Amino acid sequence: MAILVTGGTKGIGRSIAERFAAPGVKVFLSYASDDVAAEAAAQAVRDRGGEPYLLKRDIGSSAGVAALIADVARHTNRLDQVVHGAVYAYATPLLQADPVQFERAVTLNGTVLLYLVQSAISMLDRGSSIFFLSSRGSKMAIPNYSAIGAPKAMAEALVRYLAVELAPKGVRAHVVSPSLVLTDALRKVFSNAPERAAAAAAANPMGRNATGEDVAEAIYFLASPAASMITGRELIIDGGDYIKP
């Protein structure tokens, strides 16, 4: 088995990588810059018996994604799971967005999902699954979240189209959207991230926020044969927060 996780060395991505790590599993961890965090994530995968591969790449373009998949292809000819969790955490009101930074945000937070699937298509086969990590900001206008939320909304639509086009190959595509998880990306977007997290936990029907482990367990289920007829849908992991009055 082999899994690729973009943004796989921190936060939710690392939790997913660790959940899938096991003897005989190749875990490809794509990251941008933090070598210390990358080494720690790789060791965590090893501790669980997995075989980690650290891939330091800028995937903010189709060419960067192609280079990443070429790195992966040197070690495996099949990907059982592809998880796009990397995010460009550009915080800005929409009307004040810098065009260059916003374009990069649209690419990394949105269209890179398509580039990953296109580049890896020969490595995907029956039973493979694609996952996109989204958030509430794809549906609600959260202050300073436009460069993340709007591209994620587009990626959610891409998942639906991909699910239909990939279905004849037996490949599934999913959106997984947790409620607030206190990650480095969240801290970059909101200066008061810890306070927001505490308030969200207090307001959640379950009395806590979702965790990276919660997300990882959901993805592990969706990747399993037990979920073989589930595709093109969004799974919200929020303890009932989205539906409360």
**What CATH number does residue 90 fall under?**
3.40.50.720
Cα–Cα distance for residue pair 156/135, rounded to 1 Å: 10
Cα–Cα distance for residue pair 189/120, rounded to 1 Å: 31
Do 241 and 179 form a contact (C-beta atoms < 8 A)?
Answer: yes
Is 91's pLDDT higher than 90?
Answer: yes
Summarize pLDDT for 40-83 with one digit per residue, the tens: 999 999 999 999 999 999 999 999 999 999 999 999 999 999 99
Looking at the structure of the chain, the number of domains it has is 1
Summarize pLDDT for 196-232 with one digit per residue, the tens: 889 989 999 999 999 999 999 999 999 999 999 999 9
Q: Which pLDDT belongs to residue 193?
A: 86
Q: Is residue 245 part of a domain?
A: no
Q: Is residue 184 part of a domain?
A: yes
Residue range(s) defining the domain that contains residue 142: 2-240
Summarize pLDDT for 110-159 with one digit per residue, the tens: 999 999 999 999 999 999 999 999 998 899 998 999 999 999 999 999 99
Q: Is residue 27 part of a domain?
A: yes
Task: Give the H or E element holding residue 52.
Answer: strand 51-56
Long-range Cβ pairs for the range 59-63 (8 Å, 24+): 59/6, 59/30, 59/32, 59/86, 59/108, 59/112, 60/88, 60/104, 60/107, 60/108, 60/112, 61/107, 62/115, 62/118, 62/119
Q: Is residue 191 part of a domain?
A: yes
Summarize pLDDT for 95-113 with one digit per residue, the tens: 999 999 999 999 999 999 9
